[in-house]
Amino acid sequence: MKTFNLNNNENIPVIGFGVFMIPNNGPTYEATLAALKAGYRHIDTAAGYMNESDVGKAIKDSGVPREEIFITSKLWLQDYGYENAKKGIDNSLKALDTDYIDLYLLHQPYGDYLGSWRALEEAVEEGRIKSIGISNVTINLWNKFKDGMHMMPVVNQVEFNPFTQQKKLMAEMSKYNIRLEAWYPLGHGNKDLLENETIVSLANKYNKNAGQIILRWIYQEGVISLPKSTNIERMEGNIDIFDFELNNQEMQSIRDLDTGKPTHNPEDSANETRLMGLKIHD
Ligand code: A2P
């Protein structure tokens, strides 16, 4: 699997297998095991997905050495604040059954953000986490947080696909060498996207499917993508994107599909209230 370099000189596999909304106690275990068998070396989970333990078990049982796998997890809001975050990190390490996590993100931009960030920074110094990052952070939120951070985030994981290209955010993040990571890279299976004329005609040209064209475009934009699939064929197909290249004109034709409107607005106070209320443990 190809990698991108991060601003702390660590390397990250350019495509990760996303396990959002795959249930624990079986389905995430099976999906992660299948993904590792298919060749994925980057798994993206979160405390908030409540399936870290299945990811950990699958990694153990896969036979793939731990150091060849890049694990991302995320701290949930309920565990924000300096002291709580330290316990949250412990819980993720335990659930994943690992000595270190490759990348750990603050999942949502609310609550005691900088207290939590300080706990993440300390975990990096202690070697329990290799890289730290942010997620769902808009330019306004970034301007609110950035001066309180000692360590630079390596990534900002946001909604990103051809309909939601986050162009201004990408330009702002690039000033700090912070890479974007794409959640919902396939628009969460959005038919309008997967059946879009521009994308389908490129799929026909390169003998690929629409998902592969989108993931190749995201890769050529320098963005890490986290596609999710529980279907083995699509799972395998989604990393089979390194045997063709979109030319400049084709890249631009997909850039022209941007609506400029993410479906999720992290600055909406209703989202903040809803997410702050989601409990993942007692
Ligand atoms: P399935 O699990 O049946 O493959 P996203 O990663 O943007 O959230 O999108 C995930 C959704 O897209 C899932 O519903 C998944 O369904 C579907 N999907 C995954 N890969 C592809 C693909 N290559 N082409 C079409 N749909 C896909």
Atom of ligand 1 nearest to the CA of 227: 6
Q: Per residue of the chain (282 residues), what is the pLDDT tens digit?
A: 999 999 999 999 999 999 999 999 999 999 999 999 999 999 999 999 999 999 999 999 999 999 999 999 999 999 999 999 999 999 999 999 999 999 999 999 999 999 999 999 999 999 999 999 999 999 999 999 999 999 999 999 999 999 999 999 999 999 999 999 999 999 999 999 999 999 999 999 999 999 999 999 999 999 999 999 989 999 999 999 999 999 999 999 999 999 999 999 999 999 999 999 999 999
Query: Which of 228, 240, 241 for a ligand 1 pocket mutation test, highest count of atoms within 8 Å of Cβ?
Result: 228
pLDDT at residue 188, rounded to an integer: 95
Nearest CA to ligand 1 atom 13: 189
DSSP 126-144: TTSEEEEEEES--HHHHHH
From ligand 1's centre to the CA of 189, what distance in Å? 5
- 208 within ligand 1 shell (Cβ under 6 A): no
Q: What is the DSSP letter of 228?
A: -
Neighbours of 167 (CB within 10 A): 11
Q: Burial-class residue 143 by CB neighbours within 10 Å (0-12, 13-18, 19+).
A: exposed
Nearest CA to ligand 1 atom 17: 189
Q: Which of 40, 49, 104, 184 is catalytic?
A: 49
Rg (CA), the chain: 18
The structure tokens 């993904």 sit at 35
pLDDT at residue 42, rounded to an integer: 98
Tell me whether residue 49 is one of the annotated catalytic residues.
yes
pLDDT at residue 112, rounded to an integer: 98
From ligand 1's centre to the CA of 215, what distance in Å? 11
Check if the beta carbon of residue 16 is closer than 8 Å to that of residue 72: yes
Nearest CA to ligand 1 atom 6: 227
pLDDT at residue 56, rounded to an integer: 98
Residue 92 phi/psi, 5-degree rounding, is -65, -45
pLDDT at residue 118, rounded to an integer: 98
From ligand 1's centre to the CA of 22, what distance in Å? 12
From ligand 1's centre to the CA of 235, what distance in Å? 8
pLDDT at residue 274, rounded to an integer: 97
The answer to whether the predicted template modeling score (pTM) of the entire model surpasses 0.85 is: yes
Q: Which of 91, 99, 108, 104 is nearest to 151 (CA)?
A: 104
SS3 264: coil
> Dihedral of the CA atoms 211, 249, 163, 35 (nearest 10)?
20
- 7 within ligand 1 shell (Cβ under 6 A): no
Residue 240 phi/psi, 5-degree rounding, is -95, 65
DSSP run (H or E) holding 159: strand 155-159
Q: Which of 124, 134, 212 is nearest to 180 (CA)?
A: 134
pLDDT at residue 145, rounded to an integer: 98
pLDDT at residue 141, rounded to an integer: 98
- 200 within ligand 1 shell (Cβ under 6 A): no
Residue 107, annotated ligand binder?
Answer: yes
Cα 10 to Cα 6: distance, rounded to the nearest angstrom = 5
Check if the beta carbon of residue 116 is closer than 8 Å to that of residue 86: no
Query: Which of 229, 230, 236 for a ligand 1 pocket mutation test, highest count of atoms within 8 Å of Cβ?
Result: 229
pLDDT at residue 254, rounded to an integer: 98
- Helix residue ranges, H only, the chain: 27-38, 52-62, 82-96, 113-125, 139-145, 167-174, 191-194, 197-206, 210-220, 232-237, 248-255, 269-276
